[in-house]
Amino acid sequence: MYLNSEKKQELFSNHGFAKKKTDTGSPESQIALFTHRINHLTSHLKDKRKDFSTQQGLLKLVGQRKKLLNYLQRTNIERYRAVISDLQLRK
C-alpha cells in the first residue's frame, strides 16, 4: 500500500497535529490524512481519466474532509485556522 504506518506517523508529526505518538483520531490528524489521500488520488486521476471508481472514492473523501472541517470550525476556530494554514487549503 502507498501509505504504511510509518508514513502516517511521519505525516502526523510533520504538521504537528498529533498530540501524542498514537493520536490518529483527532480531527486535525484525520484531515491531514484525508488531504494526503486526496492529493494522491488527484494525481492518479490526472493520468487515468476514465477511472470512475477512483473518482467516486475521491468525492467521498472530499465530503468526509469537508464534514470534519465544518465540525472543527464549529467547535474550535483557532484549531480550524491552524489546520487550514498548515495544509494550505482554501475554504
Q: Which CATH superfamily is domain 28-91 in?
A: S15/NS1, RNA-binding (1.10.287.10)
Q: Residue 28: which of 66, 59, 69 has the closest Cα? A: 69
Domain spans of the chain? 28-91
pTM to 2 decimal places: 0.85
Q: Which three cell numbers stand for residue 5?
A: 504506518
pLDDT digits (tens, 9 = 90+) for 54-78: 999 999 999 999 999 999 999 999 9
Cα(64)–Cα(47) distance, integer angstroms: 24
pLDDT digits (tens, 9 = 90+) for 14-59: 766 666 766 778 888 899 999 999 999 999 999 999 999 999 999 9
DSSP characters for 55-89? HHHHHHHHHHHHHHHHHHHHH-HHHHHHHHHHHT-
